[in-house]
Amino acid sequence: MDLSGKVALVTGGASGIGAAAVERLVAAGAQVAVADRDADGTAAVAERFGGLALPGDVTDPAAMPAVVAATEERFGRLDVVLLNAGITSGQSGITDLDVDAYRRIVGVNVDHVVFGLNAAVPALRRAGGGHVVATASLAGLVALPGDALYTATKHAVVGYVRAAAPTLAPEGIRVNAVCPGFADTPLIANAKPQFGEFPLLTADDVAGAVQDIIERGEPGECWFVQPGREPAPYGFRGVPGPKGGSKAPEVTWADH
């Protein structure tokens, strides 16, 4: 992957998958802006790789436009965006519901992806195209019964990516999702003892899949990442159309 002269933005970049992705992007020649709520961690990663530290809360609707603007102001362009920030809710959301925690997980896992893509598109257009990768999860492809709220948010990310990609592809902007299985990152730190001998991905395994997606992913693909397997696009099955019906109409927001 040659990103010489390119600029990347990574949210959730202070640790785990985000920090590993920053390292790979810099190794490929990119200049990188690092955004994360952890101000100290953001500063440390940015300093280590000569990047731009942008601490803040990605759930704030004003945060992502400000982050994109700061990145363009510092580096003059934006070519690659990894919308990686994510959290778990710590509740099932089925028989228990902490509304504040629910709002928080939706804000980080879903709102930030929507805000991030919306903010990044004008900058990517100015650069003549680019790549957006959202970190979803295997829980965005199949149900994770132990965490219904996390599953709901990651399914939302996958659906959003698949629907947004065809709109932006003609402009040379590729939108994809990376869908890792369980990875040894701070996200599962408290639950790690429960995994026992279960094989876990490393943060760099997932960052490597992100690199593969940037290099050769097709618009709208959602790549699974599992230990011991090569990352690859997930093969979604189609759903049956109306019996005897013709091709579905193309509907735009203007039709509503």
Q: Catalytic site residues?
A: 150
Q: Where are the alpha helices (DSSP H) in 88-225?
A: 99-106, 112-126, 148-168, 203-216
* 8 A C-beta contact, residue 185 and residue 203: yes
* 8 A C-beta contact, residue 104 and residue 111: no
End-to-end CA distance of the chain: 42
The full length of the chain comes to: 256
State the DSSP string of 208-255: HHHHHHHHHPPTT-EEEE-TTS--EE--PPP----TT--PPPP--GGG
